[in-house]
Copies of this chain bind each other. A is one copy, B any other.
Amino acid sequence: MGSSTFRDDGAKALDWAASYLERVGELPVLAQVEPGEIRARLPEAPPERGEPFDAVLRDLDEVLLDGITHWQSPRFFSYFAVTASEPGILAELLIAAMNSVGIAWRASPALTELEEVTLDWVAHLLGLPRGWHGHIEDTASISTIAALAAARGAKPGHRIVVASEQAHSSVAKAARLLELELREAPVDDEFRLRPDAVDLTAVCAVVATVGTTSTTSVDPVPELAARCREAGVWLHVDAAYAGAAWICPEFAWSREGLEHADSVLVNAHKWLLVPMDCSCLWTRRPDAFRHAFSLVPDYLRTPEQREVTTLSDYGPALGRRFRALKLWAVLRCYGREGLQERIREAVRLASVFEEWVRDDSDWELSAPRPFSVVCFRLRGADAANDELVERVNRTGEIFISPTKLSGRTVLRLAVGNARTTEDDIRRAWDVLRREAAALQTA
């Protein structure tokens, strides 16, 4: 593909992306396709000869788009709602154009050094302890594996990890990979880990969650940190979603005790406007990470090695993309104020929705709402709530995901997309009440 073709095709791709973002609010949020439907509409065999780039855009329009669930929609309220902001999107274009592969400092010095600088910047914005070492992994799953591998190595013979029964599934998955035993601790009536129920015998790590997936509850980090410190146990804080809120002083309460933890992760691709993937991981104990991961083969040894950071020393992968550039672009283009504004607006919208639920006797709130996720349900049977989720998602107007709390089905409205307005929240409430009414007459 020659240079002029790249400019022409690029203009088309950019137009496609811009048009997509302009109309994403009108598309069905949840893809309305059956399993296997997209696959069946694609050719079975690859082409023998190349086709113009237009063919890719045509595939998107004619086949793939029907199978896309639109995470960029202002009415995406499922899981944790996220945003790929415009500066972040354009940074991905630049990252791909340069295609830096960070397998060693000299393989791209700016990649390594910008990753250090941006992680320091985010640490500064979120009020993390000074001097911790930060780096980027792709997802919270891998960040958690990295942290628990460091913890395992730091406490030989101790093979138990403690986390609350509300901790993310990635903790259980990491424990399985690392052959650690996960001990699930019970929670109080606000879904927070109960430190009094934790036994630290044979434990190598405790995972505290700030912003659990189901309810965004906040585990008592100060108490856990004190107990871990006394017992010499690693405390890892999973703040994948809610850590972003630390940029606002009014959420500093949820960061308390962090200075006594050993590691913390915050996903910039969740609530900090960075496109997937960008999981930020900081640690007070970089030596333990290096002990777990450092390994430099002959073909990567260089004279400057002792003077520079080798980012693969801190996690399982050798190669890395220039992810720092998209984080940089977002920090540069939003600044502290721009990011604070989006966090606050999401929380405000969630509180508005919460009030509507509270004021309607057909519905009930199912958990406190510390951040931007509302847990609620239709009063009555689980089956009705299960059916309601499927009904509202089939409308394509909104997309929500349910969870289980104390064995019961609970709906979640996760606000977090930067395009979401009060009209979108209102529409969600309208759809929910309309479908609930239809359900009862069905």
Contact = CB atoms under 8 A, between A and B. Distances in A.
Contacts of A298: 214, 403-404
Contacts of A196: none
A55 B93 contact: no
B318 A141 contact: yes
Contacts of A93: 10, 13-14, 17, 89-90, 92-93, 96
Interface stretch (A36-44, A200-208, A349-357): A36-44
Given A35-B105, A337-B50, A295 B6 contact: no
Contacts of A64: 110, 114, 325
Interface string A137-163: 011111001000100000000000000
A366 interface: no
A335 B293 CA distance: 39
> 10 closest A-B pairs (Cβ-Cβ)?
A67-B110, A84-B99, A17-B97, A92-B96, A169-B297, A46-B121, A1-B86, A298-B404, A13-B90, A39-B113
B114 A38 contact: yes
Given A39-B113, A173-B316, 18 more contacts: A6-B21, A7-B14, A7-B18, A10-B14, A10-B93, A14-B14, A20-B97, A35-B304, A47-B331, A48-B337, A69-B108, A89-B93, A139-B319, A140-B319, A169-B295, A214-B298, A277-B321, A299-B404
Interface stretch (A174-182, A251-259, A425-433): A174-182
Given A56-B332, A59-B328, A276-B321, A82 B99 contact: yes
Interface string A15-58: 11110111000000011010111110010111111111101100
B20 A138 contact: no
Among A11, A20, A90, the most chain B Cβ lie within 10 Å of the Cβ of A90
A95 B269 CA distance: 14
Contact of A56 (B35, B333, B336): B333
A329 B53 contact: yes
How many copies, total? 2
A438 interface: no
Contacts of A132: none
B92 A95 contact: yes
Contacts of A124: 45-46
A14 B10 CA distance: 7
Contacts of A139: 317-320
Nearest to A101: B276
Given A72-B99, A106-B31, A91 B56 contact: yes
A78 B303 CA distance: 16
A390 interface: yes
Contacts of A402: 299
A117 B42 contact: yes
